Amino acid sequence: MPVHELSAMDFHYMRLALRLAQRGLGFVEPNPMVGAVLVRNAAIIGRGWHQKFGGPHAEINALNKAIALPRGGTLYVTLEPCCHTGKTGPCTEAIIAAGVKRVVVAMQDPNVLVRGKGIAQLRRAGIRVDTGVLEGHAQQLNRPFVKWITTQQPYVIAKWAQTLDGGIADCHGKSQWISSPESRERVHQLRGRVDGIMVAIGTALADDPMLTARPAKKSDIRRTATRIIIDSQCRLPLNSKLVLTAANNPTLVFHRASLTGAALRRMKKLIQQGVECIGVATDKNGALNVAATLTELGKQNFTNVLVEGGPTLLGSMLKEKLIDEGLVFIAPKIAGDQYARHAVEGIALQSINQATMLEFAQPERIGPDILLRWQVSAVRNKKNSGE
């Protein structure tokens, strides 16, 4: 909480810093998005944001771009300034050397190398530090970073398109196309800023997807996502689009830790085609342990993973509380097919009261479709579980 009384301008400048921070989306991961605004004599003299991984942090960019001396000024920053040397030097030392009189921080850095230490160092240097200004907004902005740095697992976004009555494919398993071109364009933009795109082998076999980002504007491609296939027996066909394009698009297959016979031979052939294969443990039912795959991805600095199906994989991940956010594109269509697949399957509720409760964001109209964003409601699900 802030230790001094705050003014309306403090919130104004922090909102500006948060908007600046968003410009780093897709460029800075696995680092957090951070924005900074430098103010002196009620005028903005410097602005900056973390622009790319390994580059100068937001505070340094704001100080370097200052149009007047920062001495005696106030620095607004969306995340606690770092106090250790990583790919760049400590921001705290630069702030102290610049003579900044006051620092306003939105949220504390969850990284154990920094957590509270940066703020303490600034205060020891005689700098007034106010914290918690628009903290909720800052935490929302950097949810993927917070999860990755605290759990060593990536932030998971589930995505699917469905008809109004809940169908994601026809009785033959075909889904092209439920959603509109406008919705598919949004998906390509999303693919262009995540670290990985995950599907189960069933989806790969049914759709033969590319799982690449192909937005209308090339500038929307900020990262090259790794295509991730959950494929316990390495059944991904050698003539599939995923394998045929593996030389130029990183492709990763997660399979059972111990393969023998035909499955082992298939794995070796996939590796020869440029596909990376990683074995992970299975659960008591013989299915791949998806949590173990996320842990492995976290070790490889994946911070955002988009999961595009299939229903059993999504059901398993939702049941194990591995999904952080969902995007559902609802098309103005009714399939009316009792044999059509649904987006999430395999949870097997005993009662509707056990259903996973969600919290919706404001719906968004995309062409003829509706986009619903959701997060799992922690409070309601704790109540439903009987805790």
Is 5 considered catalytic here? no
Residue 3 pLDDT class (50, 70, 90 cuts): very low
Q: Percent of the chain scored above 90 by pLDDT?
A: 75
The one catalytic residue in 5, 29, 59, 296 is 59
3-state secondary structure of 229: strand
For residues 236 and 275, is the Cβ–Cβ distance under 8 A? yes
Question: Cα torsion for 328, 330, 331, 335, to the nearest 10°?
Answer: 100
For 181, residues 6+ apart whose C-beta sits below 8 A from its C-beta are 367
To the nearest 10 degrees (0 to 180), the angle between helices 91-98 and 117-124 is 20
C-alpha dihedral (48, 298, 154, 194), degrees to nearest 10: 60
**Peptide bond between residue 310 and the one before it cis (omega within 30 degrees of 0):** yes
H-helix or E-strand spanning residue 349: none
In tens, the pLDDT along 234-251 reads: 999 999 999 999 999 999
pLDDT tens, 346-387? 777 777 887 888 889 899 999 999 999 998 865 444 444 444
pTM over 0.85: yes
Helix (H, G, I), strand (E, B) or coil at 215: coil
In contact, 317 and 346? CB cutoff 8 Å: no
DSSP state of 308: -
